[in-house]
Chains A and B, each alone.
Chain A
Amino acid sequence: MEIKIDVPVEPPKELETLFLPIPKDYVEDVYKKDDFLILVGPQHPGSGHMRLIVRVKGDIIQEVIPDPGYVHRSMEKLAENRLYIQNIPLVERPAIMDSANFNLGYVRAIETALDIEVPERAKFIRTILAELCRIGTHLYDAAILAVFLGHTTGFMYPFGIRELICEALARMTGARFTSSFIIPGGVRRDVDERTLRWVYDATFAIERRLKSFERIFIKNPTVIARLREVGVLSKDEAILYGVVGPFLRASGVEYDTRIVEPYEAYEEVTWDIVTADEGDGYARFLVRVNEVSQSLGIIRQCITSMPEGRYVSEQICDDVKGNFFDAYGNLVLPAGEYTTLTEAARGTLLFTIVSDGESNVPYRVRIVTPGWLYLRGFMESLKGERLADLQAIYGSFGYFPPEADR
């Protein structure tokens, strides 16, 4: 039974001064209909700065309007004023945990333009880097999800495990992340046998530690109670709202860019595409957890079947060492538009480079990040849930504002 009490409610004056990206009469409409507007953010204790304008009726969310852009760094415009090779450290910045995948997407666009054939060994090394970064990102997102649910042990364990990933990246490339290791035509340096051996052993150490994470967090009844049947996106909805990556696969759609348009060494290793049917928060989390074990398998296969040979293409130069700037400084792409799709950790990542064919800087670089693509689905899945679930759903999507805002 609903009891109606006629109390004249005025919209608070403060809402006028907060520069809300919504029409003025929307605010009045909300307050006339016995709803409330709650502003979550922009100083959110989560993974970045974004404001969510939540319209609630009682405890139930009616509608959520996102207000992103607080960490917009104008990557695309900055990229127009730098040499092609100087853009590599720039395009890694949107998601620093996922740097290798972003790096890979941009470099592959240049390679398509220049028609460079990448040596097999470089392809394998690139795959290892991409998968290491994927594991690191999934662990980071799991940690953020855990701390959203108030589970501090679930926050510390993935960060503890991620140290191994950082160490592996540091041994292979020299930097814990944002290594700018992937360059057009190959990789910066060769990776020796001992380092690969270490990474191979580290995958087993990660697997062992993940078991204790599973005991304390993944199979924890309180976690399952918070995530199951929360923020459900059905298969049709997920396709309609253009959700990408593991979140699309959690709704039962078998789509993975690594399968559909294989790049690098993904054709030469065996791995399964991870899907779930429920489409709720727990499914989205489990898909990423299972993807971590698939990625570990890919890394092991890459290391055991690592071919010998060059690490950078002959089309660029004989040896990058010592003449890096000579080789890449005057890179000019033929006129045209070159697009690549990459499966980054959080979903499909699109890089488009437009070149005018005569200058050594890109005419236009377009980056569409997975965060930006699944924002709509994220907002839709919040409808009808409780306000306390907002954090759980936020964490289950692993939404990362710096990545979405670019």
Chain B
Amino acid sequence: MINEIIATLIEIFSSNSMQIPLIQPLVDYLMEIPLLNILVALILWRPFFAVVIMPGLIVLMLYLLYIVWFERKLTARIQWRVGPLEVARPIRGAIQALADGLRYFFQEAIVHRDAHRPYFVQLPILAFIPILLPIAFIPAGNAVGIKTPYAIQLIVAFLALIPITIIAIGWASNNRFAFVGSVREALMYVAYEIPFIIAVISMIYLYGSGDPYVAVEKQSLLPGAILNPIAFLVFLITMLMATSRLPFEIPEADQEIAFGPFVEYSGMLFGLVMVLAYEKLYIMALLFVILFLGGWNGIYCDLLGDLNAPLWLFIKTIVVISILAIVRSMYARYRIDQTLRYSFSWLIAFSIVALVVGVVAGWIV
């Protein structure tokens, strides 16, 4: 009975598995071993591989370890400092983020008396849902969780849910700084969401479909950044606003409102909310690469087979994020009213121009 179920499962998994010639001998060898073979088949099953391994959860965790270290190191180099070094000196403190994470894990997570206890504890974990859901829809070549022609629209819709959890976090904290922070987050949300959605719609017009496969295929000659440079710029700026990176680090301004909505968190819960913006940045950067930088298009290597597409997508995403990390050491913080004025005048105007460009270009292409 169990053997039959396992055999059926292996058959389901193997019928749709990643073909990677480089590790094929190893896979063949492991498939001979009972019980281990179902694990290997599961890992190589395309939907599972896309959601859990790459560009999904495991790569997301590796990215988090990398980006926190890289951002600190880069900022330090620009500022005539050394940066993280003492944790694992031979690799220049590269596991600093892991050490910090461990510290958060063993620190007491204090829930203060005024907090709305259930929401205060649940919301950092609930906030992961709108971050993990888009991963199911982001394809990387053959590796895809759920294949749908409306993937881009769905990703944008899930991204729009994240600020709601942050506002709820601020409300549950019941602290005046957290309250000011969540009001600022709500204002920022209004400021960036409209130009962001218009920029994405302009690209959907350009490609004629919300299907990432169509988008990537149409970029085989020219990347989207050249086809519609204005939408590219609008997306880039709204990406900075949405992830509260520095010129727009307004909801979390630590000199003004002491980390805003997250002021009351400590321990593991703080570790969870701290990486929220980085995770959002990862999802947005994946969307950015698919829409503007040709997605998983790249030099095809025969040995890697199906792994080519996820790898190229990941490399491009990491490069984009690493370049974005530099703004933290370049800019001061804008005021909220300046940002709103800027967003409702220039950014919306630019996004409408981008929409016109998108419609015209889509008509030509």
A residues bordering B, Cβ < 8 Å? 45-46, 59, 146-154, 156-157, 160, 216-217, 220, 222-223, 225-226, 386, 388-389, 391
CA distance A146 to B331 in the complex (A): 10
Closest-by-CB residue of B relative to A146 is B332
Chain B residues with Cβ under 8 A from A216's Cβ? Answer: 330
CA distance A398 to B81 in the complex (A): 25
B76 to chain A, nearest CB (A): 9
Chain A residues with Cβ under 8 A from B86's Cβ? Answer: none
Of B75, B78, B246, B336, the contact of A150 (CB 8 Å cutoff): B246
Chain B residues with Cβ under 8 A from A150's Cβ? Answer: 246, 249, 253-255, 332-333
| Cross-chain contact A149 with B258 (CB below 8 angstroms) | no
B residues bordering A, Cβ < 8 Å? 75, 78-81, 246-247, 249, 253-256, 258, 328-338
| Cross-chain contact A160 with B80 (CB below 8 angstroms) | yes
CA distance A216 to B328 in the complex (A): 12
| Cross-chain contact A157 with B79 (CB below 8 angstroms) | yes
CA distance A91 to B17 in the complex (A): 78
Chain B residues with Cβ under 8 A from A391's Cβ? Answer: 255-256
CA distance A386 to B256 in the complex (A): 12
| Cross-chain contact B332 with A223 (CB below 8 angstroms) | yes
Closest-by-CB residue of B relative to A151 is B332
Of A148, A156, A157, A222, the contact of B331 (CB 8 Å cutoff): A222
| Cross-chain contact A389 with B335 (CB below 8 angstroms) | yes
Closest-by-CB residue of B relative to A161 is B80
Closest-by-CB residue of A relative to B329 is A153
CA distance A220 to B330 in the complex (A): 8
| Cross-chain contact A386 with B330 (CB below 8 angstroms) | no
| Cross-chain contact B78 with A153 (CB below 8 angstroms) | yes
Given the contacts A45-B255, A150-B253, A226 and B334 also touching, CB distance less than 8 Å: yes
Chain A residues with Cβ under 8 A from B258's Cβ? Answer: 45
Shortest Cβ-Cβ A-B pairs, 6 listed: A150-B333, A156-B79, A149-B332, A151-B332, A222-B332, A153-B329
B341 to chain A, nearest CB (A): 10
Other than A156-B80, A157-B80, give 13 A-B pairs with Cβ distance below 8 A.
A59-B337, A150-B249, A150-B253, A151-B333, A152-B79, A153-B78, A153-B79, A154-B332, A156-B81, A160-B80, A222-B332, A386-B335, A386-B337
| Cross-chain contact A388 with B75 (CB below 8 angstroms) | no
Closest-by-CB residue of A relative to B75 is A152
Chain A residues with Cβ under 8 A from B336's Cβ? Answer: 388
CA distance A152 to B78 in the complex (A): 10
Closest-by-CB residue of A relative to B335 is A388
Q: 28 pairs across A/B with beta carbons < 8 Å?
A: A45-B255, A45-B258, A147-B255, A149-B255, A150-B249, A150-B332, A151-B331, A151-B333, A152-B75, A152-B329, A153-B329, A153-B330, A156-B81, A160-B80, A216-B330, A220-B330, A222-B331, A222-B332, A222-B333, A225-B334, A225-B335, A225-B338, A226-B333, A226-B335, A226-B338, A388-B253, A388-B256, A391-B256
